[in-house]
Chain A
């Protein structure tokens, strides 16, 4: 089954099945009223699919998505009734306006924590409503815009409910296939990474803010499409049509069906989309029911109905494509990495002071020191996860101080974290592909590169498993693999040996040696001497944020200051 899911044709199975099922609906019912409801459901599916990309995949909360639907609706309504435009011309305009507005809201908010975007998007429908009601001379205010012309195809006005159903289905097909393929591609991996762990995503070279803004605008444009198609059928729109309640209903349908699966949203709309119809007499109870439903689902079953079905990855190992094995070529006269004068204070405490060292290509350099010496902080400063107070970080002669983590990752500086930060919603293989995709190229390239890394780490057997299904060592290897798949010139490893048995440490050491032999430089922070001592070419010793020794393993262990730092004063002769 998995193998089928990974072929190009097999990948389309889900959306095609959905479309086929929806295509037979008009054949099963001749009732125009029911067909009308089904058409409305199709429109909501379009909107919810767009919302799923934003909320389910990227994890960004737009609470006022109805406003983007309304933008599309009003654009179509006003351009056709006031300016005599054709509906077909009005639709793309509506989509563009929605995208623009989305970008305007996104730019200030997407740099910040999620709740800022949530609040801003919650306010937007209210704002839009105010603008419509306030500008009633041109907008029709609360009475709305009437007599909106229907769409015409080849001179035939689309009046027949069945015809319109199929028109909307055609648009849905385009949207569904587009979105599905995007989400099953490497972009989908990146979005899931952003959702799960933005810091890890940045370490994989993902430009988080730009990606988030991109999906937000895409999502808004799709919503506007739904709105336009709605008014050309119903021929009426007013201020309250796509208000806050509608926006929240979209979220509830998506959450109930299951976020982040695309088909989950479809199921959610079909199942819950009937609720407003059924509750027409008790319309005022709608918000209560939806609100309680939302709260209950998020508390007890946040992955919704789709969560009951395990996701099958469309990425799988493929036979080798002879991709280049060598680390990215960084020419420099001098050391590959040069750190000088790096400094960091937290409040009254100096974590790292005046750190200066260098690393050559094809060298394994370890940083050790007693607890609290500043080793992890030093690593975070070099990788860019933490901004330094002072100092310079040069990779192959290029200065990176002050530049963000994802830029450093893209320049060839890979890193792993102390507690293996894998993306929990991606399989082992997908995690590695995510690392490989930083280098661009085609999907096959990334999969090929990832396959090389997968096999060299011996992870072939667990390629399709999720991180919570594998053991600690396998998780650690996967994270290392994800960093190595980008063929970094230099990789920073933060306590990779933590929690490993002696045998596992030996295996890890072999992996690192092989990597070093390929020309990759490795900077290792750890305190497990069984790994550090046999493996390192040179060792830097830190104590209380300052460096106290720098040399090869035997000279470092013999160094009196080092013994003193670890064991205490007077232990020099122990």
Chain B
């Protein structure tokens, strides 16, 4: 497994560079928006990967609630954290794209607002994990994650059900996309998915090590001589 990580790292780096080339150079220039439309190749995959990670978080949380396995709890924490990072990218690149195209940085339409609410829910999940020291924290967090995951399909389908400032979906729904643009989008989605996997793997290893250190400290406290001041 340890040898696989650097190999995947190299493959991911190559994919990301290739995806960047495709997005900035190979992809055709959009007629109305011009080059700024190329933000699409980072903005959309970030959202999709965030949603995928929250879905995994949901599965891990349910598994934890049923089986109480520590590995499931770690996967839930890791995927929530990395999912928040990707959704942050989505929420930041969106306004940067919106400013030259819509003339505004932000609007309180259903897609943007629901995405922000989803981000806030998972940030609150991370706050709970970080600042609660109760033994029930993993259980409470898992319960919050199960509820939070219900927002993901709401965010995704919001542009189908509501009239929004946000463009219609390009895959399915009312929108359409040039096949070359779709090709570049899928390549960026693949590249960032591999990147997200590696980041999650790294964060998982970090969390395992953190728990090992916490256990070692706890053991040291138990084995400290009686009457010793800590």
A binds B: no
On B, residues with C-beta under 8 Å from A are none
